[in-house]
Amino acid sequence: MSRELLPVADGRRIRAVVGELLGRAKGRTVAAFAILVGATAIGLLTARLLGGVVDLVVAHRPAAELVPPVVGLVVVAVTQAAAAAVGVSLVARLGETILAELRERFVERALGLPLDQLERAGSGDLTARVTNDVSVVADAVRRAMPELGRSLLTVVLTFMALAVLDWRFLLAALVAVPIQVYTVRWYVPLAKPLYASQREAVGSQQQQLLDTIGGARTVRAFRLGDAHLDLVGQRSSVAVDLALRGVRLVTRFYARINLAEFVGLSSILAVGFLLVGAGSVSVGVATAAALYFHSLFGPIGTVLAMVDDAQAAGASLARIVGVADLPAAVEPARVARPVDTSVKTSGVGFAYVDGHPVLRGVDLEVAAGERVALVGASGAGKTTLAKLIAGIHEPSAGSIMLGGVALEELGVAGTRRTVALISQEVHVFAGSLADDLRLARPSATEDEMLAALEKVGALSWVDSLPDGLATVVGEGGHQLTVTQAQQLALVRLVLADPPVAILDEATADAGSAGARVLESAASAALAGRTALVVAHRLTQAVASDRVVVLDAGAVVESGTHEELVAAGGQYARLWAAWSGQRG
Amino acid sequence: MSTTGRDVLRRSIAGQGRSVALASLLTAGHQGGEALVPVVIGVVIDQAVAGASALTLVAWLAVLGLLFAALSTSYRLGARFAERAAERAAHELRLDIARRVLHPAGGTEAGNLAGELVSIGTSDAKRVGTVNNVLPFGVAGMAGLLVTAIVLLTRSVPLGLLVLLGTPPLLYLAHLIGKPLERRSEAEQERSAFASGVAADLVAGLRVLKGVGAERAAIDRYRRTSRDSLRATLRAARAQAWHDGSLLALTGIFIAVVALVGGNLAAAGQISIGDLVAAVGLAQYLITPFSIFSWVNGELAQGRASAGRIADVLAAPPAVGTGARALPVPSTGHVQVRGLSRGALRDVEFEARPGELLGVVATDPAAATDLLDCLGRAADPLSGSVSVDSIDLSTVDSQRVREVVLVAAHDADLFAGTIVENVSTGPLVEDALTAAAVDEVASALPDGVQTAVTERGRSLSGGQRQRVALARALAADAPVLVLHDPTTAVDTVTEARIAAGLASMRRGRTTILVTTSPALLSATDRVVLLDDGRVVDQGSHATLAVRADYQAAVLA
């Protein structure tokens, strides 16, 4: 299967989506910007007022005259602080609301993606977007953007203030700009690949530790300790070397920024010195100019250092918008309703790769309420057939009917309501157990949930959980055993209550105890439904109404357990080995 | 050797002592230089007031240039030494931790989930290493403070005292204002991180959601979580904004006070204009060392906690003792279990004769894992013994034991690399790939046996993973191979094929198959049935198959 990554938005789409979201809060956007500009402008009065104090002293004015500018300083400090707080809060609100809206759209579209598209893209792509990219953008919205915005504003307004003091101060300050521009143009192309390989090295170092430490028992059993220590050492050394190269680059960057600071400050001081000497500005104004420029060191460093952060956030945003911007799924104009709960496939064929058919002309009829077990080697096409009937893939030949209606006429939502597929994948959703179960039936009452748990025999262990149904399970919560997690999948099936159910779960736990628990749970969950069970243990086949044996994508045997054992074919041989009678 | 967190921290610093010392010296130079910048600005202003010549200006600008060159160079070199000390110390710790975890005697996994050990090897090692990066900056902050104190006190004692004594209460006040906000915002940031966690979780369970048609319910739930989290984030952001605002206001007011006092002193002729400018600049600068101190403090606290966790791993008692005896080479593979009790095992007694394929059925899964631990000397018996070729394993070093006895656990992990690389731990790679039916797995994969295994084998399905792990165990060609439920996720057709392949490949080599799979058991020479941790019967699969308890354990 060739990888076909999920879409990535171009600059135009990103601007359109972000613009649309900003447009919804036009008033707030304008207010936030205006207040921040105001706060920064007020802050610039500080240096002027300090210059005023200097001028008063130079003019040998009485000390009492110092009080007004000092009071002014206090007023400026308080007003600037309050305005900044309000402005920053407003900007945060704006950014966070847009972020929330984006991630909600993203999740909505992601969960709506057809599974075959997702499989072509590899689930890693989507997972990386929802974890890495969302957190990179969130971090930018929370930290980088406000800081970058405020710093940029401070820089621009300070330059304006310098011009107001005297246009020659502005020229002096601009002397530093070429050095800064050069520094950034030199730095970004070097930093980007270095940081990318650094992230990669840290990732593979962590992966190695996960491999080695997580698999410590295996490493010891196979006496691979020395080889693994070497690997850990190598991966760690690569990461260390890259980190040191990174710090060398960053310190060289700051050295150039320091040079720009020195050049700018010297020219401001020189201009001040000369202008004071010529009598065209006061000592206070020269002081203010020097203080302005000195206070720019921080903001300029921030703006320049964040250029590559901003680029990284842009790339992540493109991947988020790419998914959030996908069109919603379309339902057929007229949705047909199934007349019963039977399943019928006629001449169904399927290939993941052209020329390599996985299924060939499969005819299978399951009567309403019947339970059929699918038996066959891996690669025989059992799981593929299950996925086709559940509507996850479309057959390349033949047709599939649920309750006498073709799948395409049922539509996506109709198919989901009619048939449930419990696959080999087990996932316990993070959150309370009740929340997990309510995914299958949002309106479920506590009694309904308890009844469903009881039905599949899970009530006893749920009762013994620290908080019963309210126990937090899944990632970061109470760890359930694999058997318990598989039982939960069956409880969800009972709650979702579809007329047709397909079971394709393997018992991954050691020992037969878990398998037995699951088999009786599955039996209970399937009661009253038309069921197709992909049999991983032959006891599942014995318990079914009919057994269908698949081999190389085609049905080779079909009948009850007894009939097939008596027929002496492939199934009979399997059963003989299984039950201890050498065939 | 008992190791404490303090030892770990001390060794980590001492191991990079030279780098840490050089970094401290250099960064101290940097901060001292930063403190001198406002002083030079003041001097230039003074010269302007005095109407000095342009030559004087040039001289002072040269001084400023030298100052910048010095502070810039010290920062550049200091930061490099500090980072090197940090990275190297973390590297050494990572290796120490890996070495201890992999030690043949084991013992670190008791009470630690694998994930926790990994996080100790990555985050905690990094945090302890970071202490080496942080200490020099702490020293530098002190240097900045010292330079400021000397400059101010030599110009004017009252002004110096005002700035030096005024700064700590100012920062304390800001800390007090910030504290409740910080605590609240931490809790709220955690809640906001929750939203992205929920999104990732739903995406991870996408197939499960689609299986039961729960997409709509999941989207609705996510929207609610996201909105909750948005409200929490906004509260946190507001709190943070007002906290930053109050710090801004306090600093501004402090500078106003310095200007008032300094202005009065200057007006009275006690200090020069330049001194006044320098004092205001230094009052602004002083925030830097103090914020460095609070950062250093936080990092040190984290470093100490991490060092404690690392010490716990390094000092974990080994699971088994050492041993001086050796097993004969080549081994005949004669395994005798005598009166063995440990955990769920009660007085277990059986033997695997040289070359035998012996099945062991345990009705209690705990008994099976305890038996496995004793057979591979991952644990020593409480009483009784396990011996190979009549030598008690508890007298043999565990590394030597594993040269003869290979225990392949049920949930054995695969490692990064291709399938064939995973299997190539022993000589019989080709035969093992066929016997474990990996050839079937390979034919369904893009690059066959050269397909890369990622995410510790999670890129393969459970059944595929088990077969590769089984092939690896078979390829090792160990004189004694112990397999635990190697085919639970493999379909019945393939399982039957594997049973035959395994039996033929291990012909003449002792193999103990701990399993409840009838397909595998039917291929064994003999089966030992353990019930309630005791041996209750022995015989062929077919003869045992009439027993009700055997049927319940194996055939049900």
Which of A120-129, A191-200, A342-351, B16-25 is predicted least confidently? A120-129
> Which chain A positions have a beta carbon within 8 Å of B240's beta carbon?
88
Distance from CA of B6 to the nearest CA of A (A): 24
- Distance, CA of B19 to CA of A123 (rounded, Å): 45
pLDDT tens per residue across span B88-122: 999 999 999 999 999 999 888 766 666 678 888 88
Do the Cβ atoms of B48 and A435 come within 8 Å? Answer: no
Is B113 among the domain residues? yes
Which of chain A's residues have a Cβ under 8 Å away from the Cβ of B464? 378
Residues of chain B with C-beta less than 8 angstroms from the C-beta of A127: 200, 203-204
B265 located within any domain: yes
Does a structural domain hold residue B219? yes
β-partners of residue B340 are B348
pLDDT score for B534: 94
Q: Which residue has the higher pLDDT, A188 or A499?
A: A499
Asked if residue A238 has pLDDT above 60, the reply is yes
Residue pair B201/A474 in contact by the 8 Å Cβ criterion: yes
| pLDDT computed for residue A539 by the predictor | 81
Instruction: pLDDT band for A349, please (50, 70, 90 cuts).
Output: very high
Q: Please tell me whether residues B378 and B486 are part of one structural domain.
A: yes
Q: Is 80 exceeded by the pLDDT of residue B85?
A: yes
In a domain, B329, yes or no: no
Residue B330: is the preceding peptide bond cis (ω within 30°)? yes
Give A283 or A356, the one with higher predicted confidence. Answer: A283
CB atoms within 10 A of CB A388: 24
Report residue A3's pLDDT band, with 50, 70 and 90 as the boundaries. Answer: low
B197 shares its domain with B250: yes
> What spatial distance separates the first Cα and last Cα of chain B, rounded to whole Å?
51
Determine whether the interchain pair A512/B444 forms a contact, defined as Cβ–Cβ distance below 8 Å.
Answer: no
- pLDDT interval class at B292 (50, 70, 90): confident
CB contact under 8 A, A73 and B88: no
In a domain, B325, yes or no: no
- Mean per-residue pLDDT, B329-335: 91
pLDDT above 80 (res B410) = yes
The backbone region for A553, taken as left when phi is positive above 0, alpha when psi lies in -120 to 50, beta otherwise, is left
Q: Which runs of consecutive H residues, i.e. helices, occur in B315-428?
A: 365-375, 398-404, 419-423
Q: Do B435 and B385 have their domain in common?
A: yes
pLDDT at A2 over 60: no
A66–B102 C-beta distance less than 8 A: no
Asked whether the beta carbons of residue A510 and residue B410 sit closer than 8 angstroms, the reply is: yes
Question: How distant, in Å, are the alpha carbons of A6, A96, A328 from that of A325?
Answer: 11, 19, 9
At A455, list the tokens.
């039905």
- Which letter does DSSP use for residue A478 in this model? B
Mean pLDDT over A473-482 rounds to: 78
- Report pLDDT digits (tens) over B344-381: 999 999 999 999 999 999 988 889 989 999 999 999 99
Residues B404 and B492 reside in one and the same domain: yes
Structure-token match 């290979």, residue found:
B406
pLDDT score at B206: 86
For residue A96, the chain B residues in CB contact (below 8 A) are 230, 233-234, 237
Residues of chain A with pLDDT > 90: what percent? Answer: 37
Q: Could you tell me the CATH number of the domain that includes residue B22? A: 1.20.1560.10
Residue of B nearest to A504 (CA): B211
Best to test chain B binding among A76, A111, A204 (most B CBs inside 10 Å): A111
Inside any domain, residue B287 = no
For residue B80, which residues of chain A lie inside 8 Å, CB to CB?
Answer: 244, 247-248, 251
Kindly give, in sequence order, each residue whose CB lies less than 8 Å from that of residue B141, ignoring residues fewer than 6 positions away: B31, B288, B289, B290, B292, B293, B296
Same domain, B458 and B530: yes
CA distance A38 to A45: 11
Express each pLDDT in A165-175 by its tens digit: 999 999 999 99
The predicted pLDDT at position B2 comes to 61
Q: What is the pLDDT of residue A583?
A: 38
- The shortest CB-CB distance from A111 to any of B219, B253, B440 is to B219
Tell me the pLDDT band of A514, cut-offs 50, 70 and 90.
Answer: low
Same domain, yes or no: B537 and B439: yes
Of A427, A445, A540, A430, whose CA–CA distance to A489 is shortest?
A427
CATH number at residue B434: 3.40.50.300
Contacts of A392 in chain B (CB under 8 A): 210
3-state secondary structure (DSSP) of residue B550: helix
Handedness of CA A315, A317, A320, A324 (dihedral sign): negative
Same-domain pairing of B137 and B218: no
Q: What is the largest CA-CA distance in chain B?
A: 114
Exposure letters A397-420 (e unless 16+ CB within 10 A, then b):
ebebbbbebebebbbbebbbbbbb
Closest Cα in chain A to B555:
A579
The C-alpha of A84 sits at a distance from chain B's nearest C-alpha, in angstroms, of 6
B247 is a domain residue = yes
pLDDT on residue B332:
93
Q: Would you state the structure tokens that stand for residue A126, as one six-digit string?
A: 């989507």
All structural domains of chain A, each given as residue ranges with its CATH number in brackets, are: 11-324 (1.20.1560.10), 343-579 (3.40.50.300)
Question: CA A545 to CA A369: how far, in whole Å?
Answer: 10
- A303-307, B112-116, B500-504: which range is least confident on average? B112-116
| Among B133, B25, B10, residue whose Cα is nearest residue B82 | B133
Question: How far does Cα B546 stand from its chain's mean position?
Answer: 51
Tell whether the model's pLDDT for residue B178 goes beyond 70.
no
Percent of chain B with pLDDT over 70: 94
Contact between B436 and B498 under an 8 Å Cβ cutoff? The reply is yes
Q: How far apart are CA A367 and CA B472, in angstroms?
A: 45
B276 pLDDT exceeds 80? yes
Residue A124 has pLDDT above 80, yes or no: no
Residue B171's pLDDT band (cuts 50, 70, 90): confident
Q: Is residue B314 part of a domain?
A: yes
- CB-nearest partner of A209 from B121, B441, B490: B121
pLDDT of residue A308: 67
Check residues B302 and A488 and name the one with the higher pLDDT. Answer: A488
Which of A24-28, A216-220, B18-22 is modeled with the greatest confidence?
Answer: B18-22
Q: Are residues B135 and B220 in the same domain?
A: no
Residue A1: what pLDDT?
A: 39
Residue B183 pLDDT greater than 80, yes or no: no
Same domain, B407 and B549: yes
Q: Residues B246-264: pLDDT tens digits?
A: 878 888 898 899 889 999 9
Question: Quick one: B145 and B183 in the same domain?
Answer: no
Question: What are the strands of the beta sheet with B526-531, ordered from one edge?
Answer: B405-408, B480-484, B510-514, B357-362, B526-531, B534-539
pLDDT band at B160 (very low <50, low <70, confident <90, very high): confident
Asked if B300 and B386 sit in the same domain, the reply is: no
Closest by Cα among A264, A317, A44 to A160: A44
Closest C-alpha to A380, from A261, A257, A245, A555: A555
pLDDT at A211 over 60: yes
The answer on pLDDT for A315 being more than 80 is yes
More confident residue, A210 or B534: B534
> Which residues form the domain of B234?
157-270
Counting residues of chain B whose pLDDT is more than 90, the rounded percentage is 47
Model confidence at B448: pLDDT above 90? no
Of the CA atoms within 13 Å of residue B396, those in its CB half-sphere come to 25
Task: Determine the residue of chain B that is closest to A444 in CA distance.
Answer: B217
Judged against a pLDDT cut of 80, whether residue B446 lies above it is answered with no
Q: Is the pLDDT of residue A508 over 60?
A: no
Domain check: are B169 and B40 in the same one? Answer: no
Chain-chain contact of A255 with B76 (C-beta, under 8 angstroms): yes
Q: Which of B48, B280, B491 sits opposite A377 (nearest CB)?
A: B491
Q: Do A377 and B409 touch (CB under 8 A)?
A: no
- Calculate the average pLDDT of chain A: 86
Taking the CA of residue A252 and the nearest CA in chain B, the distance in Å comes to 7
Number of domains in chain B: 3
Query: pLDDT tens across A57-66, in order?
Result: 888 888 889 9
Q: What pLDDT is stored for residue B195 in this prediction?
A: 73
Asked whether residue B197 carries a pLDDT value surpassing 80, the answer given is: no
Partner-chain residue, chosen from A212, A439, A537, that has the shortest CB–CB distance to B209? A439
Tell me the residue ranges of DSSP E strands in B443-524: 452-453, 480-484, 510-514
